[in-house]
Structure formats: structure tokens, C-alpha cells
Chains A and B, each alone.
Chain A
Amino acid sequence: MRNLNTNVVLEARKFSCHIGGKAILKEVSLQIRRGEYVSIIGPNGAGKTTLLKAFDRIMVGEISGELDICGMPWEEWKQSDLAKLTALVPQADSRALPFTAEQFLLMCRYPYMSPFATVRPSDRKVAHEAMVGTGTIAFAKRRLDTLSSGERQKVYLAAALAQGAHIWLLDEPTTFLDYHHQADILSLVALANKEFDVTVVAVTHDLNHAVLESDRIIALRDGELVFYGTPDLVMKPDVLQRIYGFTPLLVEHPRSGLPMIVPRMTPEQEKELAKWRAKAREKMK
């Protein structure tokens, strides 16, 4: 293990990626420091997931520019050493996973195991602790494809824990989840970030959460880095216009005072709604 003490864990310099002649990422330059919580936002097809996966060296297409992971160029990492540092936490999609949660976590100890070795007690201990820590111990014996999306997402977080990774790369961790599970997942990630100094990089469409949770925000549009800074600077009509091409309605969060996005209504819609409400009230009488 090397370079764990570097302050900058991920650094891209004019990093570009082309797939089939189309530019997915255009000369992206940025630094992510150790222990930061960074959200990647931007419209669909902006290259968010491509950038996220590049941080785990899952590269597709033609690459140019440089990308350092923990101070070392991405090409030079040995795969199993890299796995001890970074872990991709995928979406809780519906892929077939016939393994039980426990088997799955033990499999994630791969970078620490040799080909013919049996599972050591220490591996079991780590997996067990990861399950206890994430509240997944109750479904340790259940197959992953019988779990709900929220439960499976928690197991994926437990897997990142069991893998011992210091950098978590989350791909839309809350997309398919209900509010309760969203809150659960986000508080687990926040806990790992605050208590265990895990660097978190999360792709998300949920700007409100991103603003509340993140230290910094990366915004991509058409493969270009259009914003990289603290969350209070992103929630401005002109900045959001630049990122998404539309101006959202912003209100103040009742507790933090940070600006939040709420669904916009046209004046006609507002009138209609007022009418409808008045009618409903009369009927009640």
C-alpha cells in the first residue's frame, strides 16, 4: 500500500474520453482531496458516470490526458491494490445476484485473498462488522435478488466497507429508493465520510441532497466541467441555467437556510390549483 498519505486522492488533468468519435469527457481538470464529500451533478448524458468510473479505472473508449489515483497514474496501479483503495457502489439495479448477502461480502474480500485460500476468520469478522455497521445483518442469509432495492443498496455499501476502500464511488445511490431508504443510505454514507474519513464521490440527480451533504460539487454538461465549487455557489439561477439549461424555483431551507429547488409552476397552473382548492373547500362545508 502506498500513497495513502497524499492529500489529493483523485486528480484529473485535461482528462478526455472519446467513444466512437464522440467526446464524452472534454479536458476535465479537477482535484479531490482526502475525506471530501463530492457530488457530481449534471443533465443526462453529461458524462457523469463515465467520470465516476474513470476514478475506479473502468475506462472505455479512447483516453487522453492524465488521471492520478492516490498520487499514481491510473495505468500503473495493480488491480488488486487499487481495489483496496477505491470501490464502486453501483445502482441497486435488478441484476441477477444469486449470492446471499454474506457470501457477497466475503467475495468482496477478494483483494486480500489468494486464489486457493479459504475464507479466514478475519475475513468473516470484517464482513460481519460491515453488516452490523450498515444494519444489514438481518438479511445476511438472504439472496441479494430477493432483497428490495433499498436493502440491496445497503449491502453494496457494506461491500465497500468490507473491501476496506477509502474512496467510495457511488452511482446514483438513492435513485430507486423511497424517502426512508434514501435517508438511511445517505446517513450511512455521511457517517462513513465523517467518522472514517472515507472520500465520497457520488453521482446524483438530487440537487437538494447534494447541496446538503457535499463539501464540493462537480457539474458536468456535455462532457465539460462547467462548475466545481462549494454547494452554496451552485444554487443560483444563473449557475443552474448554465448547468441544466433551465431556471428552477428556489426557496430557502427552513433549518439550514440553504437554497432548495422546488417544482416550478406556471401562473396558469397556480390559478387552476387555487380554483380547485376553493371548490374542494366548499364541498367540505
Chain B
Amino acid sequence: MASQSPREDEIGVGWTLGTFFVLALVITAWAPFWGIKSIPLRALWGAVNDYTLVEILWRFRIPRVLMAFLTGAALATGGMVFQALFRNPLATPFTLGVSSGAALGATICIQCGWSFSLLGVSSISLSAFAGAVLSILIVYLLTTRGRYGTSTATMLLAGVALSFFFSSLILFLQYTSDLSRSFRMLRWVMGGLEGIVSYRDLLNVFPFVVAGCLIVWYLLLDLNLLSTGEDFAFSRGVNVAQAKLLLFFGVSMMVGAVVSVCGPIGFVGLIGPHVARLLVGPDHRYLYPLAWLFGGTLLVFCDALARTLIAPAELPVGILTALLGGPFFLWLLLKRRQEIGAF
């Protein structure tokens, strides 16, 4: 190791990134053609006899795959940011209560039997998003004091406490609800992409994800220093309060938007960043693109399986991400035993 020049290290990282980029492209390009009905490539330009295939491909499969990628990438990014910000390897994009807030919104919507849509957004997504925003605001207002913004430890605790509070409310609602509603609530909490039926959903989520990802991109150097400690980052010239605020809101809104459409899909946000960290190390300039690619690709892949494994029924994709990602992560962990750090 000691004889390597820094450039050699970077070449290795470059190869890893390149490989994953190709892998991501291949899997994402393959996914729409795979399903209960597998669709030939030429359906892309309509050169098949059965026009329903073209319809399925363009109207259902492609937006769904794109949504899966966006969701996975957003969740992995969120996990990466919160793990660095809280210097806690167990942080996920849901640590601050975004998902339970969204779940509470969705649960209330199901319980009250609301069914409307506003600008093409379903009532359940709207309620979920409102719940997510509510929880973000509560955590923020509860923990913002003083000149230097929030204490991350307080924020973490407030988020966890709020999550438990919301979860209990959800259980309460579920318990008092009838069977079919209760099942719908449970199903929503499992998360999944079967609800993605149009580009509309994609378009609604897109600006949040783009904004969130751009903020993270802009603050990659800050994230590196923040992950070593706030005093440290401060002394190296990072505007800590501003960076934390931007990251907190950027990531939370992005995750809130994604969750309100797909439900809280677990595991990607926790493990995606860790897998990337094991592969390219803790430098966020490399970690971020890899976590992004890995999260997106993992979800696309799992969603493709979720559509087909117990066809014609569908599995909730959250079950699969953990089933597939878990062993892969443990394998990596064992392989790189000596390099495991706190992050």
C-alpha cells in the first residue's frame, strides 16, 4: 500500500465507479423488458404486432423503472448524508422521522377514506407528503437553538422519539380500523412501486430529487469534514450551520417526496452507503456517485424481481431489498473485515 502513489489509488476507485456505472446502465436498460410478459427490444419503437406490449413498456414499465432508480438513489444519498452528519453508522434517511410522518399521513388518509386527487397527485401521496413535511418541521423547530444551529445529537434523539410516537399513532389507527383498511395501511408501510402507473408520479418527485442531489453534490467537501466532527469542520472553514440546514432540508424533502409515492422502502438507505463505503472508502467525492448508482440499481433490480417472483401477484419490494442486500452486505463485511471503521 505504502508504495502506491495517490493517483494509483484514484485509478482503482475510477475502475470501481466505471464498473458500477456500466452495471447500472445494463440493469436499468434491461429491467423494463423483463416481467410477467417479457417484451422484445423492438417494442421500443413499436415494431411488434401486439400493440399492448408497446403500451405496457412505455406506459407502465419505463416510468416504473425510472422511478425505482430515482427512489433507490435518493434513499442511498439520504442515508449517506445522515450517516456523515450524525457520525452514526446506523443513521438512515428515515432516522429523523420522515417515513413515520409520511406513514401517519397515509394511514390517516386510508382511515378517513379520503379519495381525491390534486394536480394528478393522489390523496394518499398528498397526505403522506404532508405528514413527512410535518415531521421535518417538528424536528427542526424542536431542535433549533442558538447561533450555531441544531445539535446533531438532540436532532437524532428528537427524530427517533418522533418516529416512535408516530408509529404508535399508526398502530392505534390500524387497530381501530377494519380489516381491509388495516391491510391497506400495512401494505403501504411495506412500501413498493406497484402504484407507479404514470410519468406524472415521476414528474412530481423529480424536482425534489434533483434539488436534493444537487445540494449534496455542492456540499461534498463539507460532508467529508463534517464526518470528522463539527468543531473540526468549523475550524477548517465549513459554514457548519448553513451546511447542516441545507443538507437537512434538502435530504428530508427529497426523501419525503420519494416516500410519499413509494412508501418507506427500507434497507437501501441504510446499507447502500455502507456498501459504497466498503468499495471506495470514506471520501464523499467518490462515495456519493457510487452510493447513488448502487442504491438506484439495487432498487431497480429488486423491483424487477418483485414483479415476477410470485407472478401474477407482486412482492413488496422492501422485503426483497433486505433479502438480497443483507447477505451481500454481510459478505462484503467479512471480506473486508480489517477495514471496517465506524462508518
- Interface of A toward B, CB cutoff 8 Å: 53, 56-61, 79-84, 86-88, 90, 95-99, 102-104, 107-108, 110-111, 113, 115-116, 124, 138, 140-141, 143, 145, 163, 169
**Cα distance A248–B3 in the bound complex, in angstroms:** 52
Contacts of A110 in B (CB 8 A): 221-222, 225, 236-238
Contacts of B1 in A (CB 8 A): 141
Given the known interface contacts A102-B6, A141-B4, the answer about A96 and B237 at a Cβ–Cβ threshold of 8 Å is no
**Cα distance A89–B238 in the bound complex, in angstroms:** 16
Contacts of B38 in A (CB 8 A): none
Chain A minimum-CB-distance residue to B230 = A58
B56 within 8 A of A: no
Query: Is B221 touching A98 in the complex (CB atoms < 8 A)?
Result: no
Given the known interface contacts A58-B231, A141-B1, the answer about A99 and B283 at a Cβ–Cβ threshold of 8 Å is yes
A-contacting residues, B198-230, CB 8 Å? 217-222, 224-225, 228-229
Given the known interface contacts A90-B231, A111-B236, A115-B219, the answer about A103 and B283 at a Cβ–Cβ threshold of 8 Å is yes
B313 within 8 A of A: no
11 contacts between A and B (CB under 8 A): A58-B231, A81-B237, A82-B237, A84-B237, A98-B281, A98-B343, A111-B237, A138-B2, A140-B2, A141-B1, A143-B341
Chain A minimum-CB-distance residue to B233 = A110
Given the known interface contacts A79-B238, A84-B237, A115-B219, the answer about A53 and B282 at a Cβ–Cβ threshold of 8 Å is no
Contacts of B184 in A (CB 8 A): none
B331 within 8 A of A: no
Given the known interface contacts A96-B87, A107-B236, A110-B237, the answer about A60 and B228 at a Cβ–Cβ threshold of 8 Å is no
Other 13 A-B pairs with CB < 8 A, given A59-B148, A98-B343, A145-B342: A53-B231, A58-B231, A79-B238, A84-B237, A88-B234, A90-B229, A96-B87, A96-B342, A110-B236, A111-B236, A115-B217, A143-B341, A145-B341
Query: Is A107 touching B237 in the complex (CB atoms < 8 A)?
Result: no
Contacts of A97 in B (CB 8 A): 228
Given the known interface contacts A53-B231, A107-B224, the answer about A96 and B343 at a Cβ–Cβ threshold of 8 Å is yes
**Which 8 pairs between the two chains have the least Cβ-Cβ distance?**
A83-B237, A96-B342, A111-B237, A98-B341, A88-B235, A80-B237, A98-B282, A79-B239
**Cα distance A82–B233 in the bound complex, in angstroms:** 12
**Cα distance A82–B221 in the bound complex, in angstroms:** 17
| CB of A269, distance to nearest CB on chain B (Å) | 42
A-contacting residues, B302-343, CB 8 Å? 339, 341-343
B37 within 8 A of A: no
Chain B minimum-CB-distance residue to A61 = B146
**Cα distance A104–B277 in the bound complex, in angstroms:** 16
Contacts of B42 in A (CB 8 A): none
| CB of A282, distance to nearest CB on chain B (Å) | 54
Query: Is B232 touching A90 in the complex (CB atoms < 8 A)?
Result: yes
| CB of B277, distance to nearest CB on chain A (Å) | 8
Contacts of A61 in B (CB 8 A): 146
Question: How many chain B residues touch A (Cβ–Cβ < 8 Å)?
Answer: 34
Contacts of B282 in A (CB 8 A): 98-99, 103
Contacts of B283 in A (CB 8 A): 99, 103
Q: Which residue of A83, A98, A103, A116 is within 8 Å of B235 (Cβ)?
A: A83
Q: How many residue pairs bridge A and B at CB < 8 Å?
A: 90
**Max count, chain B CB within 10 A of own CB: residue among A53, A58, A113, A143:** A58
A-contacting residues, B279-304, CB 8 Å? 281-283
**Max count, chain B CB within 10 A of own CB: residue among A83, A98, A110:** A98
Contacts of A59 in B (CB 8 A): 147-148
Query: Is B232 touching A88 in the complex (CB atoms < 8 A)?
Result: yes
**Cα distance A138–B237 in the bound complex, in angstroms:** 27
Contacts of B148 in A (CB 8 A): 59-60
Chain B minimum-CB-distance residue to A100 = B281
**Max count, chain B CB within 10 A of own CB: residue among A53, A102, A138, A141:** A141
| CB of A121, distance to nearest CB on chain B (Å) | 11
**Cα distance A115–B6 in the bound complex, in angstroms:** 21
| CB of A14, distance to nearest CB on chain B (Å) | 19
**Cα distance A118–B260 in the bound complex, in angstroms:** 36
**Cα distance A207–B222 in the bound complex, in angstroms:** 37
A-contacting residues, B1-55, CB 8 Å? 1-2, 4, 6
Contacts of A145 in B (CB 8 A): 341-342
**Cα distance A60–B277 in the bound complex, in angstroms:** 33
Contacts of B238 in A (CB 8 A): 79, 110
| CB of B77, distance to nearest CB on chain A (Å) | 16
**Cα distance A51–B214 in the bound complex, in angstroms:** 37
Contacts of A113 in B (CB 8 A): 221
Given the known interface contacts A59-B147, A59-B148, A110-B236, the answer about A124 and B341 at a Cβ–Cβ threshold of 8 Å is no
Query: Is B235 touching A86 in the complex (CB atoms < 8 A)?
Result: yes
Chain A minimum-CB-distance residue to B224 = A107
| CB of A268, distance to nearest CB on chain B (Å) | 46
Query: Is B225 touching A107 in the complex (CB atoms < 8 A)?
Result: yes
**Cα distance A111–B235 in the bound complex, in angstroms:** 10
| CB of A197, distance to nearest CB on chain B (Å) | 20
Query: Is A141 touching B224 in the complex (CB atoms < 8 A)?
Result: no
**Cα distance A145–B237 in the bound complex, in angstroms:** 23
Query: Is A141 touching B2 in the complex (CB atoms < 8 A)?
Result: yes
Q: Which residue of A81, A84, A115, A124 is within 8 Å of B221 (Cβ)?
A: A115
